[in-house]
Chain A
Amino acid sequence: MSIASNRSDSVAVVGVGTTDFGRLPDHDKTSLGIWALREAAADAGISLKDIDGLIVQRITDYQKFVQITNMSPHLLNCTPGAGRITGGTIALGVQAILSGLVNTVAVVYGNDGRTAGAKYGGKDDSYGTGADQFWSPYGMTSPGAVHAMLYQRHAKLYGTKPEQLGAVSVAFRKHALHNSKAVMQKPITMEDYIAAKFIAEPLRLLDYCLINDGGVAMILTRGDRAKDFPKPPVYVRGIAQTSRLAQGELPDDFGFAAMQSVAKRVFPMAGVTREDVKSLMIYDNFTPIVLFCLEGFGYCPVGEGGRFVEGGRLELGGQYPTNTSGGHLSESYMQGWALNVEAVRQVRGELGSRQVPGADVVQYLQGGPICTSIIYGRDVT
């Protein structure tokens, strides 16, 4: 049996929880994770004692976490606070249930990056080979600059334009206005986008995600038990991953091969095609990766990402409403976690003015460097 599938005995999400997002100086990542977990348990109608697996991400003091929550899980793990790891953390929870190791897993994320002054870039934030020798002496650093350089290649090869990145930024901001928890509540226009100051030129401030404090939790359980919970079950119908870390930070193909490898597994596993997907949640740490994901997962041809996002295609009412919460650009940078919760809530149909009608299949896309996709669905056969 594959790790997830379109079957009634696959894994379901039965509880989700999110904290407020923003500047929350009275909290740390442990307390934010606990806040989110308590919300998720209440949503699932269970007590923390009913949870027999616990995987926390970015919450380095897992000991304090389990002491305060008084849990005695049969599986306990802690993964690092990198968004590229998020899909793998969720996959571990899914696998633990499918293997029979545990019945119910909480996957919990806490991030106090805004209050703690988390930095992406600089001497304490380098990855992989050679950054200290070949990057830092020239002032090269930060995921934002990497995306700026990838975008420059894409623009040179395919004619992609800043206004196409702006279309992504404006669309997600529109969505945030339907989400009272989103950090950004002020509408923006294309003129505002173009007028925003450069950070790593050609990327502007409005191409960048928002570092904030917050927590997110999901409770997963065996699919055959899922109907006993108060909320409609949302099944993890497909989950797949391929690392492109070995290609370095600036792959020639924008991650296309790795994303294709994921797509070839995740759609058959879920028993759906792109035409069945009603809404997308795309890991938007920077706007260019949204275009690369749409190409890599086959939503548009290679090189067409910029043209694809024009005309409101990613907006509510468009062909593929994307990041309906506002995403990392306008809700909060929760490293993929809040996007997964948004996917679950879309499938449940509980999102009010930002609900996508008939959203029975929603796909999460993470473009890299550990490319991941998760397909959530309402029904199983």
Chain B
Amino acid sequence: MSEYRKPLPPINHLSRPFWEATKQGRLILPRCNHCGTFHTYFEPWCSTCGEEGVHFEELSGRGKIWTNCRFHRSYFSGMEESLPYNVAMVELDEGPRLMTNIVGLEHGTLDEMPIGMEVEAVFESVTDEVTLVKFRPVRK
């Protein structure tokens, strides 16, 4: 396997549980101990209620495309080989929104991944350390 050249997340003590879970095919996110808001950042403080303290909780991995775009220009070394590539923000059934790529499309064009489309998580191992969470259309 050739070397993976695309951007990788810097894994630290706060984000390590998330990236360990994706390696096992599980999507977890930090959740506020006080108000229950899911976070899409790895800090101990809650931006909703202002309290300190989070725990990780597993999510269904199901959601809908909230918005999308398709890159025709590369801003990161390693991404140029994938141009054009799509990016979507997926709103999970539990509420939080994640940036991701939509896979399993015929051409990868925006009309194949409209806003509102139902999607589910797939786990793509890209290095020994990192498994990314991508989404594919739910097959009916």
Contact = CB atoms under 8 A, between A and B. Distances in A.
Interface in B37-82: 40-43, 47, 66-76, 79, 82
Contact of B69 (A135, A136, A201): A201
Given A197-B72, A200-B69, A200-B71, A129 B43 contact: yes
B127 to A, nearest CB: 11
Nearest to A121: B75
A250 B97 CA distance: 10
A152 B67 contact: yes
Given A141-B75, A250-B89, A135 B47 contact: no
A86 B71 CA distance: 29
Interface string A126-137: 000110111111
A291 to B, nearest CB: 16
Contacts of A139: 6-7, 71, 74-76, 79, 82, 85, 87, 101
A96 interface: no
Contacts of B76: 122-123, 136, 139, 141
Give the secondary structure class of A's interface. Answer: mixed
A198 interface: yes
A140 B75 CA distance: 9
A62 to B, nearest CB: 30
Contacts of B33: none
Nearest to A148: B69
Contact of A132 (B9, B66, B75): B9
B132 A130 contact: no
Contacts of B69: 145, 148-149, 152, 200-203
A307 interface: no
Question: Which interface residue of A139, A142, A145 has the most chain B CB atoms within 10 A?
Answer: A139
B49 to A, nearest CB: 13
B8 interface: yes
Given A145-B71, A150-B67, A152-B69, A138 B132 contact: yes
Given A119-B75, A246-B47, A136 B70 contact: no
A313 interface: no
B9 A137 contact: yes
A199 B41 CA distance: 28
Contacts of A123: 7, 76
Contacts of A138: 87, 99-101, 132, 134
A156 interface: yes
A153 interface: yes
Contact of B7 (A129, A136, A152, A156): A136
Nearest to A203: B69
Given A130-B40, A145-B69, A201-B110, A137 B75 contact: no
Interface in B125-139: 130, 132, 134
Given A132-B9, A139-B6, 5 more contacts: A133-B42, A138-B87, A152-B115, A200-B70, A201-B69
26 contacts: A122-B75, A122-B76, A123-B7, A129-B43, A133-B41, A134-B98, A135-B99, A137-B7, A137-B8, A137-B130, A138-B87, A139-B71, A139-B79, A139-B82, A139-B85, A142-B75, A148-B69, A149-B67, A149-B87, A152-B68, A152-B69, A153-B66, A156-B67, A200-B69, A200-B70, A200-B72
Interface of B: 6-10, 15, 18, 40-43, 47, 66-76, 79, 82, 84-85, 87, 89, 97-101, 110, 114-116, 130, 132, 134
